[in-house]
Amino acid sequence: MKYWIIIDSVQKGPLSVEELYAIPGLSMSTPVWHEGLADWTTAAAIPEIAAIIASRQNGFSNQQPYGQNYGAAPQQPYGNQYSQPYGGAYRPQAYGQPQYSQPQYGREPFDPERMPPMPDNYLVWAIIATICCCIPAGIPAIIYASKVSPAYMRGDYNGALDASSKAQMWIIVAFVAGLIWAPFSMLLGLL
């Protein structure tokens, strides 16, 4: 589908999604029109374009279930009220869709412009799990942590995400087991 947009009062179009991706001034409130629409709407109303903007705004911090917003400050030229509903709801799965010219399992060479940020490898938590949980589950967590970056570097985003979530799972196993064990061991210490 081809889109027409208005940036700085200048109408541009027809543009493909790939071309839109290269336009820096694109925001949620940019007027957009495509064939079939009776009138102009905003970029926020078109998921395909909203996904591009959301991916830029979320930057580094999007795939981190733990921890704070460590990433660079999101670029929000029109204020929070436009971007909030998208910033939170956006998920990296959208990258599997064809508009990024990335078929299901990305086997294309590494292209940082088109890949979402690297998933967290949770290495800090994996190390803490090996120190304080005394459960061997910290070891697979570290092994999976080591697989995140190489998968990402060869362009296999889904592989990186998979290793990331497995590392996370083993860390949860280690901490849950540690928390269940702790009161038992304290009682046994009394005996």
Question: Which among 160, 52, 41 is positioned nearest to 97, based on CA atoms?
Answer: 52
* Residue 68 sits in the site that holds another protein (CB under 8 A): yes
Contact range with another protein by CB under 8 A, out of 20-28, 50-58, 99-107, 183-191: 183-191
State yes or no: residue 150 binds another protein (CB under 8 A).
Answer: yes
Tell me: does residue 52 bind another protein (CB under 8 A): no
Residue 176 within binding range of another protein, rule CB under 8 A:
no
Residue list 72-101, contact with another protein (CB under 8 A): 72, 79-81, 84, 88
Among residues 16, 18, 45, 69, which is the contact residue for another protein, using CB under 8 A? 69
CA distance 12 to 94: 25
| Cα–Cα dist 83/77, whole Å | 10
Strand, helix or coil for residue 14: strand
C-beta separation of 142 from 130 below 8 A? yes
Indicate which single residue of 94, 128, 169, 172 sits in contact with another protein (rule: CB under 8 A). 128
114 touching another protein, by CB under 8 A: no
Q: Tell me which residue has tokens 């078109």.
A: 46
**Residue 69 DSSP SS3:** coil
Least Å distance between CB 162 and another protein?
Answer: 15
Q: Residues 6 or more apart from 96 whose CB is under 8 A from it?
A: 102, 104, 158
CB of residue 104 vs another protein: minimum separation in angstroms?
24
Name the residue among 140, 161, 186, 176 with its Cα closest to residue 96.
Answer: 161
Residues in touch with another protein (CB under 8 A): 4, 6, 11, 13-14, 31, 33, 35, 38-40, 59-60, 64-72, 79-81, 84, 88, 118, 121, 123-124, 127-128, 130-136, 139, 142-143, 145-150, 177-178, 181-183, 185-186, 188-190
